[in-house]
Amino acid sequence: MVDIVTQLKDLAIDIVSIVVIVGAGYLVGVGAGILVRMFSAKLLEGYARTSDAGKRLQEAGVPGVLELLTVAFAASLAFLAAVDYVDLGGEIGAVLYTVASYLPRVVVGVAVLFLGILLSAGFSSALGDVLARMLPKKRREIAELGRGLILVGLVALVVSVSLGIMGLTGTYVYSLILGLAIMAMGVIAGSMLVDSIVEDNPEFKEFAGYAKFLVYLIFIMIGLAAIFTQYPGASRVITTLSWGVALAMAILLLPLVYTLAKRLVGETARRRG
């Protein structure tokens, strides 16, 4: 009976210690979060006066997100310190310590992802503006294309770093990131290139939708091949599927080519006449 009372007393002391340490860490995080929010809001206020990007960041509530991340990081560190201080034994203690050790990594990974995407968007936008000033007005779409491709590449890099911080690494993860990046780049490049061709050659306007679909499909197949390259046998299936899609697209393309050729021949004959 005395042993049970002693164990309950020790358990109560441990619980109170955890609550006190986590509560203190949370209060420190709230104070630090307020300072971070005020500082970031002040910076964005000056940035918003000279840039549309600053206004968009203000409207997105970036200072509030930074405040939440600061509070979450402080609370996770306090929880880790509390679990380490109490030193619970057994399987429950081991599980709690594993969770407490992982929480700060998750918060830091999310913070890196959030801030990295913001910085990537700002950098790609600034670089796109520089390219737009260097290129003639008729080729401004090249600057937009470069901006989009750089943004996709930087976001893929940020996601990779963020997942690495959270311990979510491995060949399959990197293959997934690579495949999705290829798909995104294909959609951006295909859309802009087809629009550029149509702008220079209005007679292709009716076929723009089909051309975009074809480009999207090609890059989707390449992306899928990159994603499933680690799975045995998957590459053979994707290769067979690609040949089937290519054959189907070729068959569907024949009437379009015939119609376009007939129209071009007719226009040529009218000009000679």
The string of pLDDT tens digits covering residues 57-85 is 667 777 888 888 899 899 888 888 888 87
Which amino acid belongs to residue 26?
Answer: Y
Residue-wise pLDDT tens digits, 131-182: 777 777 666 677 777 788 888 888 888 998 998 888 887 777 888 888 888 8
- Helix H, strand E, coil C: the string for the chain is CHHHHHHHHHHHHHHHHHHHHHHHHHHHHHHHHHHHHHHHHHHHHHHHHHCHHHHHHHHCCHHHHHHHHHHHHHHHHHHHHHHHHHCCCHHHHHHHHHHHHHHHHHHHHHHHHHHHHHHHHHHHHHHHHHHHHHCCHHHHHHHHHHHHHHHHHHHHHHHHHHHHHCCCCCHHHHHHHHHHHHHHHHHHHHHHHHHHHHHHCHHHHHHHHHHHHHHHHHHHHHHHHHHHHHCCCHHHHHHHHHHHHHHHHHHHHHHHHHHHHHHHHHHHHHHHC
Residue-wise pLDDT tens digits, 13-58: 777 877 888 888 889 988 998 898 888 888 777 776 766 666 776 6
Q: What is the pTM of this model?
A: 0.74
